[in-house]
Amino acid sequence: MSIALGTETPSFELPGVDGDDHSLGDYGDAKLLALVQYCNHCPYVLAWEGRLMALASDHADQGVRVVAVNSNDSARYPEDSFERMKERAEELDFPFDYLFDASQSLARALGAERTPEVFLFDEQRRLRYHGAIDDSRDENAVSRSYLREAIDALLAGEEPPVAETESVGCTVKWK
């Protein structure tokens, strides 16, 4: 069960592919913080990857921070190892931080179940949107961009038109 809407962001300190450890405090100046359960191998993540990168780039100058978090068991899924994460982030020049949750503590605190799965927090770090990036794995069939709509609404001082959707993707690979 995922954390409830209105719940505050859990604290974390996780290594990033940039070589730095990142904590919740590192994003204190962000108007909105999107934590996205992520990994390297899931075909659903790969299908949404370009859209997430575009969304992060489109909103970066508005104080929106997107942070991808890989919590998968890399012993069972070597493609999701920290080394492979670094390679993928460099290869694609991710416009967001990519963090490794080796202990799976952040995924457990969020109640994450899928990759990709979005947890969007407002400036007070209360959960305001949870779920899918948009409504279709097929980029050409998207009719609702849930995360983009939630970000735009919150930046305008409004409620997200949809606060929660079903996440679609691979399951988090628990230890």
Cβ-Cβ contacts under 8 Å for 13 (sequence gap 6 or more): 21, 22, 23
**Confidence category of residue 174, pLDDT binned at 50, 70, 90:** very high
Token reading at 98: 């990519």
Cβ-Cβ contacts under 8 Å for 171 (sequence gap 6 or more): 113, 114, 115
Per-residue confidence (pLDDT) for residue 99, from 0 to 100? 98
Per-residue confidence (pLDDT) for residue 88, from 0 to 100? 97
pLDDT, one tens digit per residue, over 19-75 is 999 999 999 999 999 999 999 999 999 999 999 999 999 999 999 999 999 999 999
Of 97, 126, 110, which is closest to residue 172 (Cα–Cα)? Answer: 110
What is the CATH T-level fold of the domain 50-145, as seen in this structure?
Glutaredoxin (3.40.30)
3-state secondary structure of 15: strand
Give the CA count within 13 Å in the CB-facing half-sphere of 104: 13
Residues, the chain, total? Answer: 175
pLDDT, one tens digit per residue, over 81-120 is 999 999 999 999 999 999 999 999 999 999 999 999 999 9
Per-residue confidence (pLDDT) for residue 98, from 0 to 100? 98
Model pTM above 0.85: yes
